[in-house]
A and B are shown apart, each in its own frame.
Chain A
């Protein structure tokens, strides 16, 4: 009897150890796509996550899970994130994932976008009100930082807002704001210019 109890106990401990080991590894798949320290991987269009505000990450993961983001197939990368968001939310791991990203070492990504930063600066005036003059973000307005993000990703997202691939879901109030603002950027070139300016922000 006692021996049985012991072996059950041993099995329990082992099961627990396995679980702990898994939990340690649980978010490595974030790094698979988003790269070392989640600093982004352009080859598969996975943006830099490290350094993002935890509240912003959480909201976007919730948006993916709820289908607020990534529900249209025209937004291919967003669509790929949708099941990831769902899985994190449904397994109750969303917060832990956000926390994990917070432990990573953020590095400033190399600039990949050509644009006219001087012209972009004029467009940026509209952005600065919420995202700050240095692109540092403003938590009280729920506006994330823009400086030191994957620049190609900023271009994609501005285009997505403009083209109605993001910010059209009625639950997405912040997205709706961004959609309105993005419409003030007349064309693709203006988007690239403003991102080129954001690249200069320190």
Chain B
């Protein structure tokens, strides 16, 4: 079975892992698309004192909009369907309720500041400037987040009989092999015209350093792949390079550059104590405007303004506002009674919902630290795909590892079909291929099937290029006073920065309308 990887395949693989955004970013990386300028937080100039804005959903986009608008004098009300605010920004600690339809769970972690699990977003890259600005403004302390650890494991049943190897071995032994192959097979006369012989020598030199080749351009191993021993009273001994034919059998090559991508490369950050510190920060400012357990049942765009009907404590309530900012997931909005034009609402069903799945396990010992791992990610080609090790609480007794994080909707569905204990059992079976005694350390765990989580029933919207083209502008534009927001209406779904961008886009538009003295803009 011969399989070569084309650029198209790579883009597909990157998409499978990172969502369509990864495809977009990857395409930008290889020069297919222009790089967009970075958006700044809009400066709202209009006085909102006489305007009411109703926000549907207290996730990051809704909270951002509430925070900005209330500062400009708008009367702001936020309706949240769930018993908690935050949306997919969810950090689980001992005693927390996991509101999965069909399988409600209670987190059994010990009550300890280091024992938490970020079930939704878990990392922030340094260029997500809007989110970082809010962290600063809302006094949310940040710590480095370790995404890429060369000492973590790579496991694939397709190579070395399923035995795990260190990431540094995979990455550097394949690089050494490829560099040697290129250095030896490239011929100066095969280079195209503008290449001078000096250029040719420089390319060879680059290859030598790329793969750490010896003076004869042979790859005989490199300390980058790790030493055979760390006894520093004796001379260093290089490990023998692993068989390239075995290494290249693994589909790990599709994700080996994960930690180098735009959104995943060092330096990454996380809020100290859990991602939901950002939600808590927003709630300190606008928590009094948020009404929980209020599920929207009907949205009517009126001649002037919007009327929303919701259920709260078993009764239907009506509320009118000049503007509505709505971050209800589109696939749920599709089931809510409304009077939107069909040309708009048909988009709600057009974009498939994400089915990301995560497991967090409380381990009674930080056994990974004995393996020289103090953070970062081990990769496996099994359903669980990843194991993350906490970089906070190093050397403490216990830790919470991420024991599964799958982007593949089939794997997500497979896990979701199981009961929570069965999911954990499967994750432990698969994790044991990386850490042989894995199961014996497990004390308890939480499982998050995002497409079955109450009030979500999905993760990042699965946009594709054709869908963007067909629907994005329509869904981003207001219908009367109604705006769709959330990471779902951004080119960065699955990231809080995308959610913020959508909120900024909508409030800037409202600001303009209020400033121009028009509360309505008829949709053409």
Chain A CB within 10 Å, residue with most, of B103, B298, B314, B337: B314
Q: Shortest distance in angstroms between B38's beta carbon and chain A's nearest beta carbon? A: 33
Q: Can you name the residue of chain A whose Cβ is closest to the Cβ of B100?
A: A83
Per-position 1/0 for A23-45, Cβ under 8 A of B: 11100110111111101111110
Is A21 a contact of B313 with CB atoms below 8 Å? yes
Asked whether A46 is an interface residue with its Cβ less than 8 Å from the other chain, the reply is: yes
Interchain CB contact (< 8 A) of A36 among B81, B315, B337: B337
Asked whether A80 is an interface residue with its Cβ less than 8 Å from the other chain, the reply is: yes
Is B297 a contact of A36 with CB atoms below 8 Å? yes
Cα separation A81 to B417 with both chains bound (whole Å): 10
Contacts of A21 in B (CB 8 A): 313-314
Is A32 a contact of B457 with CB atoms below 8 Å? yes
Cα separation A87 to B311 with both chains bound (whole Å): 22
Cα separation A79 to B331 with both chains bound (whole Å): 19
Contacts of A15 in B (CB 8 A): none
Per-position 1/0 for A66-92, Cβ under 8 A of B: 000000010010011111101100000
Q: Shortest distance in angstroms between B420's beta carbon and chain A's nearest beta carbon? A: 10
Cα separation A28 to B317 with both chains bound (whole Å): 14
Cα separation A86 to B104 with both chains bound (whole Å): 12
Q: Can you name the residue of chain A whose Cβ is closest to the Cβ of B331?
A: A43
Q: Can you name the residue of chain A whose Cβ is closest to the Cβ of B413?
A: A76
Interchain CB contact (< 8 A) of B417 among A24, A31, A39, A79: A79
Taking A29-B101, A32-B457 as contacts, is the C-beta distance between A44 and B417 under 8 angstroms? no
Cα separation A116 to B279 with both chains bound (whole Å): 53
Interchain CB contact (< 8 A) of B419 among A34, A41, A44, A83: A83
Contacts of B417 in A (CB 8 A): 73, 79
Asked whether B295 is an interface residue with its Cβ less than 8 Å from the other chain, the reply is: yes
Asked whether B330 is an interface residue with its Cβ less than 8 Å from the other chain, the reply is: yes
Asked whether B256 is an interface residue with its Cβ less than 8 Å from the other chain, the reply is: no
Is B314 a contact of A31 with CB atoms below 8 Å? no
Is A35 a contact of B335 with CB atoms below 8 Å? yes
Contacts of A84 in B (CB 8 A): 101-102
Q: Shortest distance in angstroms between B301's beta carbon and chain A's nearest beta carbon? A: 15
Asked whether B353 is an interface residue with its Cβ less than 8 Å from the other chain, the reply is: yes
Is A34 a contact of B102 with CB atoms below 8 Å? no
Is B293 a contact of A32 with CB atoms below 8 Å? no
Contacts of B348 in A (CB 8 A): 43
Asked whether B191 is an interface residue with its Cβ less than 8 Å from the other chain, the reply is: no
Q: Can you name the residue of chain B whose Cβ is closest to the Cβ of A23?
A: B314
Cα separation A189 to B353 with both chains bound (whole Å): 28
Is A36 a contact of B298 with CB atoms below 8 Å? yes
Is B349 a contact of A43 with CB atoms below 8 Å? yes
Is B330 a contact of A43 with CB atoms below 8 Å? yes
Is A37 a contact of B334 with CB atoms below 8 Å? no
Chain A CB within 10 Å, residue with most, of B101, B311, B330, B416: B101
Taking A28-B295, A32-B295 as contacts, is the C-beta distance between A39 and B337 under 8 angstroms? yes
Is A32 a contact of B455 with CB atoms below 8 Å? yes
Is B455 a contact of A44 with CB atoms below 8 Å? no
Is A31 a contact of B297 with CB atoms below 8 Å? yes
Q: Which B residues from 456 to 474 make CB contacts under 8 A with A? A: 457-458
Is B337 a contact of A32 with CB atoms below 8 Å? no
Is B349 a contact of A31 with CB atoms below 8 Å? no
Chain B CB within 10 Å, residue with most, of A73, A80, A107: A80
Q: Shortest distance in angstroms between A144's beta carbon and chain B's nearest beta carbon? A: 21
Chain B CB within 10 Å, residue with most, of A25, A46, A79: A25
Is A31 a contact of B334 with CB atoms below 8 Å? no
Taking A43-B349, A44-B353 as contacts, is the C-beta distance between A32 and B334 under 8 angstroms? no
Contacts of B335 in A (CB 8 A): 33-36, 39-41, 43-44, 46
Chain A CB within 10 Å, residue with most, of B332, B414, B416, B419: B332
Is B313 a contact of A29 with CB atoms below 8 Å? no
Q: Shortest distance in angstroms between B459's beta carbon and chain A's nearest beta carbon? A: 13
Cα separation A81 to B103 with both chains bound (whole Å): 11
Contacts of B454 in A (CB 8 A): 29, 32
**25 A-B pairs in the complex with CB atoms less than 8 angstroms apart:** A21-B314, A24-B313, A24-B314, A25-B311, A31-B295, A31-B297, A32-B101, A32-B295, A35-B337, A36-B298, A42-B334, A42-B349, A43-B330, A43-B332, A43-B335, A43-B348, A44-B332, A44-B335, A44-B353, A73-B414, A79-B417, A80-B416, A83-B101, A83-B419, A84-B102
| Residues of chain A having any CB pair with chain B under 8 Å | 21, 23-25, 28-29, 31-37, 39-44, 46, 73, 76, 79-84, 86-87, 107
| Residues of chain B having any CB pair with chain A under 8 Å | 81, 101-104, 293, 295, 297-298, 311-315, 330-332, 334-337, 348-349, 353, 413-414, 416-417, 419, 452, 454-455, 457-458
